[in-house]
């Protein structure tokens, strides 16, 4: 089994102070850094996804979508949290990059699945934000595409606690395996 760590959307706009913040989203940065360290030690590849929208993206309220403007390509809000420590060879997955294309999942409209297969990776460990949106969509797509998917219970954060809990149950029901750092180290 070849594995990879997948860190979802840890961008400034999704952090407190950003335009579409996940409450306490920044609190999981130290834990994600511990996961990065562990997976690098294990020789695993690290991926980080980015919401990467053009300024006229359909998900923005001004264009009829549900969200305030966020993660516009090349802006500070689209940058990853400055304290997130990725290895040099980490790969960035950009999603929802066209005006009329929305994607919560890292697999949607990207070459992520083929890149994983190209590297022989069949097991992914997923953390980041937001639990009930992009994390959930990425986990469910990963399972659907035949990957073994672990959910990093102590390194995800949702917008609303109840929704996040429901999302975790849904992911488990679909076959995702919940795991914590201490379990992985133990
Ligand atoms: Zn977005």
CATH classification at residue 65: 3.40.50.850
The pLDDT value recorded for residue 1 is: 83
Alpha carbon of 179 to ligand 1 centroid (Å): 27
Alpha carbon of 182 to ligand 1 centroid (Å): 32
Domain that holds residue 11: 3-185
Q: What is the pLDDT of residues 46-57, one digit of tens each?
A: 999 999 999 999
71 catalytic per annotation: no
Q: Is the pLDDT of residue 45 over 90?
A: yes
Query: Domain total for the chain?
Result: 1
Q: Is the dihedral of CA 25, 30, 31, 36 positive or negative?
A: positive
26 catalytic per annotation: no
Task: Please give the average per-residue pLDDT across 70-88, as a whole number.
Answer: 98
Q: Are 70 and 52 in contact (CB under 8 A)?
A: no
Q: What is the pLDDT of residues 152-178, one digit of tens each?
A: 999 999 999 999 999 999 999 999 999
CA distances from 166 to 1, 35, 46, 155, 163 (A): 29, 24, 27, 16, 5
Q: Give Cβ neighbours of residue 178 (< 8 Å, ≥ 6 apart).
A: 150, 151, 153, 168, 172
Q: Which two tokens stand for residue 3?
A: 């594995």
Q: Which H or E run contains 139? A: helix 136-144
95 catalytic per annotation: yes
Cα angle 35, 78, 106; round to 5? 60
Catalytic residue of the set 134, 136, 141, 157? 134
Catalytic residue of the set 50, 95, 136, 157? 95
Average pLDDT across the chain, whole number: 98
What band does 143 get if pLDDT is binned at 50, 70 and 90? very high
Q: Is the pLDDT of residue 111 over 90?
A: yes
Alpha carbon of 58 to ligand 1 centroid (Å): 9
Q: Is the pLDDT of residue 186 over 90?
A: no
What band does 124 get if pLDDT is binned at 50, 70 and 90? very high
Q: What is the pTM of this model?
A: 0.98
């Amino acid at each position: 089994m070849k594995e990879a760590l997948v860190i979802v959307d840890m961008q400034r706009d999704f952090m407190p102070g950003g335009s579409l913040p996940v409450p306490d989203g920044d609190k999981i940065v130290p834990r994600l850094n511990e996961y990065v360290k562990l997976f690098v030690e294990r020789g695993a590849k690290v991926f980080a996804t980015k919401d990467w929208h053009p300024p006229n993206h359909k998900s923005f309220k001004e264009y009829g979508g549900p969200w305030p403007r966020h993660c516009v390509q090349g802006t500070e809000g689209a940058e990853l949290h400055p304290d997130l420590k990725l290895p040099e060879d980490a790969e960035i997955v950009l999603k929802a990059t066209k005006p009329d294309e929305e994607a919560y999942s890292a697999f949607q409209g990207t070459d992520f699945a083929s890149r994983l297969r190209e590297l022989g990776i069949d097991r992914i460990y997923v953390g980041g934000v937001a639990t009930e949106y992009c994390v959930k969509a990425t986990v469910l797509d990963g399972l659907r595409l035949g990957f073994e998917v672990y959910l990093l219970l102590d390194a995800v954060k949702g917008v609303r606690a109840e929704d996040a809990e429901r999302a975790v149950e849904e992911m488990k029901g679909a076959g995702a395996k919940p795991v914590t750092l201490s379990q992985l180290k133990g």
